[in-house]
Chains A and B, each alone.
Chain A
Amino acid sequence: MGENETILEVRDVSVRYGAIRAISNVSFSVKRGEILTLIGSNGAGKTTTLRAISGMVRCTGNVRFMDQEIAGTRPDVLVTRGLCHCPEGRGIFANMSVEENLNLGAFIRSDKHEIEKDKQRVFELFPRIKERLKQNAGTLSGGEQQMLAIGRALLARPKLLLLDEPSLGLAPQLVQTIFKIIREINAQGVSILLVEQNAHMALQVAHHAVVLEVGKVAMTGLASDLAKSDEVRKAYLGHG
């Protein structure tokens, strides 16, 4: 695996919250242009891993993004380098309109013309957002908020997008749509690190997968292989 094929490399990363060890010695890497999914049960440390990568929590170990060490770098700096984190629970600014939320996604950019084009692309992916531009973002439905959160993250023109449970709390129909869109975004050249409870769907869209169990990497491999393995089928896909 050549260096420039890897966009993100996580090596021996550990995070503690006071006395609690949330993740220990987590290692994996995301290849440029792929979708890698991180699955695991509640409390396994998926969110913590994403937070460590995007600089929201302190960690030990090494994180390399596009051949630069980024462990300890502030999240706002990472955004400017092309690493965007769409947090768990969507992180919509409910005190602002949908449009203002979108504009904040493009906060680091000043190329008005290009931003406008990217917005149009977001509207193509999520036509509902366009209809609700002036509405207060807090009044959107859960699914609409999720779309807004993803659309907003896209406006920063990420090279690597960290998505934390984008299908959380959505109706099955919408889950399908969201995963279809995740694929589309990936097809447009954005590498994606996808955290999911819905292992079934996640393993379908992803190229590679990492399974976390109580803060440690339990398995790594091709998503299609993991989907077939007995352990994963038993623990995460609900098959006997």
Chain B
Amino acid sequence: MAELLQIMVAVVAVGSLYALIALGYTMVYGILKFINFAHSDVFVLGAWVSLVLSVMIISALKLAPGSSPPLWIAPLVLIAAMVVCGLVGFAIERLAYKPLRKAPRLNVLITAIGVSLLLQNVGQLTGFAVAKDDDGKTIATVPFGPSPKRMPSLLPETAAPDPNLAKPLVLIQPVDVFIFVSAIVLMVGLQYLVFRTKFGAAMRAVSFNTETAALMGIRVDRVISVTFVTGAMLAAAAGFMYALKYPGLNQTAHETWVLLGLKAFVAAVVGGIGNVRGAVLGGFLIAFIEFMGMYCFSKYLDPVLHTNMGTNLRDVYVFAMLIFVLLVRPAGILGSQLKEKV
């Protein structure tokens, strides 16, 4: 029981990350009807920008060794990473996708792959130093360089439980709470934007029919631009949260990132691509399946390689789920079979 509850804590935290990334995929698809393959790289950028900013701030503060950094750094870095990625998202849309507005879908798709490769590889360049430690050694660069780095911890950690006391039922780290709360705030904010504001109505109109939306006086290009920026900002938030939860960041082209982005994409598809609420549902569902799969099969060895079927096959559960959903509901759980998506 306690074990299951502990798993649920992880599901909520990781599900929030998937959901935030999936929202960007789904919003761009809803409006432009293409998969923005560079989206997961914006998420990676968000993680790395968070790392660099945190290192810079902490080294500038010259904290006494061993003391934990002040709490205001976390929200500050979160917002800064969102702004940086929002700008990058804006630039990507303007420079790479906008010139192709009337081009065939395939061209745009290939361009997206190109942008993705560009971000992955530029991220690995050995950049110039932006922070040095007391010995004058470089501790952060822009771009981020080819080797993994460690995100400093910005939130306090719950002390390991005292073995003399009764074991707590579940251990909830501040980072999990922070992730969940920020993700909920962002997702509720997005729901409000899309379904309650005039601008959101314009977004849904563009998503339904670009031409008719223009006849309402809606500036379609601006709506598309804002959609991209919003998606990129949500991805940046997810990147920051990921870096807090899993501080060892791999270089930007590492396969772990590819897999993460892919799973978030699966979340968008499972929920019904183009559907904002579906992306949130898909995110949490994917995390649930992944962690439950790991839990249920953790006692078994697979017959071929004789490795643990839990952790080693975690991605398999996600993709099996994708196949299942696509068989039962080809348009995703909340996707409508008609052309009525947002």
A57-89 CB mask vs B (1 if < 8 Å, else 0) is 000000000000000001110011000111100
Check A118 for interface membership: any CB of B closer than 8 A. no
In contact, B340 and A104 (Cβ under 8 angstroms): no
- Rounded to whole angstroms, the CA-CA distance of A104 and B204 in the bound complex is 11
In contact, B217 and A156 (Cβ under 8 angstroms): yes
Check B277 for interface membership: any CB of A closer than 8 A. no
Q: By DSSP majority rule, is chain B's interface helix, strand, loop, or mixed?
A: helix
In contact, B214 and A74 (Cβ under 8 angstroms): yes
A100 contact set on B, CB distance < 8 A = 201
Check A17 for interface membership: any CB of B closer than 8 A. no
**Contact flag A91-B209 (CB < 8 Å), given A100-B201, A103-B198:** yes
In contact, B208 and A107 (Cβ under 8 angstroms): no
- Rounded to whole angstroms, the CA-CA distance of A74 and B37 in the bound complex is 30
In contact, B214 and A56 (Cβ under 8 angstroms): yes
Check A201 for interface membership: any CB of B closer than 8 A. no
B209 contact set on A, CB distance < 8 A = 91, 93
B198 contact set on A, CB distance < 8 A = 103, 107
Check A133 for interface membership: any CB of B closer than 8 A. no
**Contact flag A95-B341 (CB < 8 Å), given A56-B211, A107-B198:** yes
| Chain A min CB distance to B182 (Å) | 29
| Chain B min CB distance to A144 (Å) | 17
In contact, B215 and A85 (Cβ under 8 angstroms): yes
B201-243 CB mask vs A (1 if < 8 Å, else 0) is 1101101110111111111100000000000000000000000
Check A105 for interface membership: any CB of B closer than 8 A. yes
B207 contact set on A, CB distance < 8 A = 95
**Contact flag A93-B220 (CB < 8 Å), given A75-B215, A107-B198:** no
Check A174 for interface membership: any CB of B closer than 8 A. no
| Complex partner residue of A95 from B202, B214, B342, CB under 8 angstroms | B342
**Contact flag A96-B215 (CB < 8 Å), given A76-B220, A91-B209, A107-B198:** no
A54 contact set on B, CB distance < 8 A = 215
Chain A residue with the shortest CB-CB distance to B212: A91
Check A218 for interface membership: any CB of B closer than 8 A. no
Q: Which of B207, B215, B341, B342 has the most CB of A within 10 A?
A: B215
Check A43 for interface membership: any CB of B closer than 8 A. no
- Rounded to whole angstroms, the CA-CA distance of A203 and B206 in the bound complex is 36
- Rounded to whole angstroms, the CA-CA distance of A156 and B339 in the bound complex is 26
In contact, A108 and B204 (Cβ under 8 angstroms): no
| Chain B min CB distance to A26 (Å) | 21
Check A219 for interface membership: any CB of B closer than 8 A. no
- Rounded to whole angstroms, the CA-CA distance of A77 and B216 in the bound complex is 10
| Complex partner residue of B340 from A74, A85, A91, A94, CB under 8 angstroms | A94
Q: Which of A74, A86, A107 has the most CB of B within 10 A?
A: A107
Q: Which of B208, B339, B341 has the most CB of A within 10 A?
A: B208
In contact, A95 and B216 (Cβ under 8 angstroms): no
**Contact flag A76-B219 (CB < 8 Å), given A103-B198, A104-B205, A107-B202:** yes
- Rounded to whole angstroms, the CA-CA distance of A131 and B338 in the bound complex is 25
| Complex partner residue of A87 from B211, B339, B342, CB under 8 angstroms | B211
B220 contact set on A, CB distance < 8 A = 76
- Rounded to whole angstroms, the CA-CA distance of A57 and B204 in the bound complex is 23
Chain A residue with the shortest CB-CB distance to B199: A107
B338 contact set on A, CB distance < 8 A = 94, 138
**Contact flag A75-B208 (CB < 8 Å), given A95-B341, A100-B201:** no
- Rounded to whole angstroms, the CA-CA distance of A75 and B217 in the bound complex is 7
In contact, B218 and A107 (Cβ under 8 angstroms): yes
In contact, A104 and B219 (Cβ under 8 angstroms): no
Question: In the complex, which residues 27-65 of chain A have their Cβ closer than 8 Å to any Cβ of chain B?
Answer: 54, 56
Task: Give A contacts to B, CB under 8 Å.
Answer: 54, 56, 74-76, 79-80, 84-87, 91, 93-96, 100, 103-105, 107-108, 138, 152, 156
Given A91-B215, A95-B340, A95-B341, 7 more contacts at CB 8 Å? A56-B211, A87-B215, A94-B340, A96-B204, A104-B213, A107-B201, A138-B340
24 residue pairs from A and B, CB less than 8 Å apart:
A54-B215, A56-B215, A74-B214, A75-B214, A75-B215, A76-B217, A76-B219, A87-B211, A91-B209, A91-B215, A93-B209, A94-B340, A95-B204, A95-B207, A95-B208, A95-B340, A103-B198, A104-B205, A105-B216, A107-B202, A107-B216, A107-B218, A108-B217, A152-B216
Task: Give B contacts to A, CB under 8 Å.
Answer: 198, 201-202, 204-205, 207-209, 211-220, 338-342
